[in-house]
Amino acid sequence: MKYEILIEGGFTGIPKEYKGDIHLKDKTKESLFEAFEGKQKSVNTALRDGFQYHLKLIDGEEEHEARYDEKNLPLPIRQFIATISKKNK
Amino acid sequence: MCNKHYCFIVPPHILEELAKRGNISCKQALNDSKRFLERRRTILNNLLVREFEDGNSERFIYDSQNKNEQRLVLVRKEGDVATQDETANKAYETSGFVRDYFKDTFGLDSIDGNGLDIISNIHYGEAYNNAFWDGDEMTYGDGDGKEFTDFASAIDVVAHELAHGVTQFLSNLEYQSQPGALNEHFSDVFGTVIKQKYLKQDISEADWLIGDSVVSEGFPGVAIRSMKAPGTANEFDTQPDHMDNYYSGSSDNQGVHINSGIPNKAFYLSCLEIGIDECALIWFDTLKALWRTANFNDMLETTIATAQRLTQEKKVSDTAVDAIAKSFSKVGLTPIIA
């Protein structure tokens, strides 16, 4: 599966970008895609210095793209970003 | 000419241009139309700010235990003795220092002027390189230990985040483009002012850096931002120090952490001329007078008008207006002085 992650904002204002390929177990992938398709919590307009996350995942014909902020990022997607972040350290 | 919810016969940018060229009647018309708009915006701001419960300006420190959850475990509250956790103690101490600065200097009772309790969440997330204000409370990560460390222990970070709360209740500057850059600017202003007070420095001793104590050895720079020399704090620092280099892209909510370098530099230059205490007072009163969509020119006009008023009231020196006008001119923002 191909991924593109852009993390912007934050107190530091320093963006982080990750692009690459990753193999995920079917169950992990399923919960990740379900999180994309789930109803997004409302944006917190009072958030200051929160991270903004822009994600794009491509798995064969399937493509998912979404934007989140610190307060409405679904847990499976947060865990996926953490995995990628650790992998790129 | 109609601009969203308000209309003018003469477009405001033409009035502004004629006013800049010295046309008194245009300046009057511009000021009148702005006054009407400000009144409308004040009403709108009040509608957009939610109702908050009254508090007693008390501090509450919660430990997120490296989860992405807030208000998880209360580890210290107002009046409690110190805990074993140094981060909790530092967050308690620094948030108290910031609260007391606003109270003692400007008479502001906590973040909202109405005794709102001050909630801090520490140890948020795993290796989390950030601190934020979310409309109700502050949240701090421990940093990854490689590039960043303990955000809750840094006085300027705590003051910066708490000042976002103050801005929310005073002018509610929206968080994009120039109003957003001003929102960041005011947080950096009170971050640096309070840091100097905390460290008992005068302006000649101060480093004018923001976030210097949260960067670790692996970070390619000395701090996150520099008020004295925007764009030089680290390898990623793209802050301009002049309108000629204004960032007009879409990243970072249209450059809220980038273009703040321009007013930041003007603040630094103003402090060199009239001192940090007079500047802090002028900037605080300016923040009270601004509105949700104020841009750089609005802020400059308001700052000049505020400085004029405070000069008449003998609260700042006679040279304040001139010093501020010159400082903003040096960053490419020229004021109209009535």
CATH classification at residue B86: 3.10.170.10
Is residue B151 located within the same domain as residue B183?
no
CB within 8 Å of chain A, chain B residues 171-190: 175, 183, 187
Q: Which two tokens stand for residue B235?
A: 């390898």
Q: What is the mean pLDDT of residues B189-195?
A: 98
Least confident of A46-50, A66-70, B244-248: A66-70
Mutate to test the interface with A, among B69, B130, B215 (most CBs of A within 10 A): B130
pTM for this predicted structure = 0.88
Least confident of B9-23, B58-72, B161-175, B220-234: B9-23
Q: Which helix (H) or strand (E) holds B140?
A: strand B138-140
Query: Does B52 or B285 have the greater pLDDT score?
Result: B285
Amino acid at A71: K
For tokens 């000629």, the residue is B244
DSSP code for B86: H
Please identify, among B153, B170, B187, the residue that sits at the C-terminal boundary of a domain.
Answer: B170
pLDDT at B6: 46
Active site residue B185: no
Determine, yes or no, domain membership for B53. no
pLDDT at B9: 66
User: pLDDT for A51-76, tens place per residue?
Assistant: 999 999 999 888 999 999 998 999 99
Active site residue B257: yes
- What residues make up the domain containing A20? 2-87
Please identify, among B170, B204, B223, the residue that sits at the C-terminal boundary of a domain.
Answer: B170
Q: Give burial (CB, 10 Å; 0-12/13-18/19+) of A32.
A: buried
Q: How many folded domains does chain B comprise?
A: 3
Determine, yes or no, domain membership for B326. yes
pLDDT of B2 higher than 50: no
pLDDT of B265 higher than 80: yes
Q: Which two tokens stand for residue B328?
A: 């903003």
pLDDT at B198: 98
Is the CB of A69 inside 8 Å of chain B's CB atoms?
no
Pairing between strand B2-3 and B6-7? antiparallel
Is residue B93 located within the same domain as residue B203?
no
For residue A14, list chain B residues with Cβ-Cβ distance below 8 A: 224, 234, 236
Closest CA to B261 of B277, B286, B238, B234: B238
**CB pairs < 8 Å spanning A and B:** 80
Is the CB of A54 inside 8 Å of chain B's CB atoms?
no
Closest CA to A75 of A48, A41, A35, A46: A35
What is the average pLDDT value for chain B, to the nearest integer?
A: 91
pLDDT at A38: 79
For tokens 């909790």, the residue is B88
Q: Which helix (H) or strand (E) holds B209?
A: strand B209-210
Tell me which residue in B148, B161, B234 faces A49 most closely, judged by beta carbons. Answer: B161
Is residue B209 located within the same domain as residue B290?
yes
User: pLDDT for A2-17, tens place per residue?
Assistant: 999 999 999 999 999 9
Report the helix count and the strand count for chain B, using DSSP H and E.
10, 9
Is residue B105 located within the same domain as residue B12?
no
Is residue B199 located within the same domain as residue B99?
no
Is the CB of A60 inside 8 Å of chain B's CB atoms?
no
A51 Rama class: left (phi>0) / alpha (psi -120 to 50) / beta: beta
Is residue B291 located within the same domain as residue B161?
no
Is residue B144 located within the same domain as residue B14?
no
pLDDT over 70 percentage in chain B: 84
- The pLDDT-based confidence of B1 (bands split at 50, 70, 90) is very low
- Determine the Cα–Cα distance for residues A89 and B276; give it in Å rounded to an integer: 41
- What residues make up the domain containing B27? 2-48
Determine, yes or no, domain membership for B186. yes
- Determine the Cα–Cα distance for residues B275 and B280; give it in Å rounded to an integer: 9
- The pLDDT-based confidence of B337 (bands split at 50, 70, 90) is confident
Q: How many folded domains does chain A comprise?
A: 1
- Determine the Cα–Cα distance for residues B146 and B64; give it in Å rounded to an integer: 21
Kindly determine whether residue B132 and residue A50, on different chains, have CB atoms separated by under 8 Å. yes
pLDDT of B3 higher than 50: no
pLDDT at B50: 58
Query: Does B48 or B116 have the greater pLDDT score?
Result: B116
pLDDT at A36: 87
pLDDT at B15: 61
Is residue B155 located within the same domain as residue B223?
no
Is the CB of A25 inside 8 Å of chain B's CB atoms?
no
pLDDT at B335: 82
For tokens 């795993």, the residue is B126
Please identify, among B138, B170, B202, the residue that sits at the C-terminal boundary of a domain.
Answer: B170
Is residue B130 located within the same domain as residue B181?
no
Is residue B159 located within the same domain as residue B228?
no
pLDDT at B11: 61
Is residue B105 located within the same domain as residue B121?
yes
User: pLDDT for B32-57, tens place per residue?
Assistant: 565 556 556 555 655 555 566 678 99
User: pLDDT for B312-333, tens place per residue?
Assistant: 999 999 999 999 999 999 999 9
Write the DSSP assignment of B153-171 as a string of letters: G-HHHHHHHHHHHHHHHHT
Is residue B156 located within the same domain as residue B194?
no
pLDDT at A89: 73
- Count CB neighbours of B248 within 10 A: 8
CATH number, domain with residue B307: 1.10.390.10
pLDDT of B202 higher than 70: yes
- Determine the Cα–Cα distance for residues A84 and B143; give it in Å rounded to an integer: 17
- Determine the Cα–Cα distance for residues B156 and B217; give it in Å rounded to an integer: 19
Kindly determine whether residue B132 and residue A10, on different chains, have CB atoms separated by under 8 Å. yes
Determine, yes or no, domain membership for B194. yes
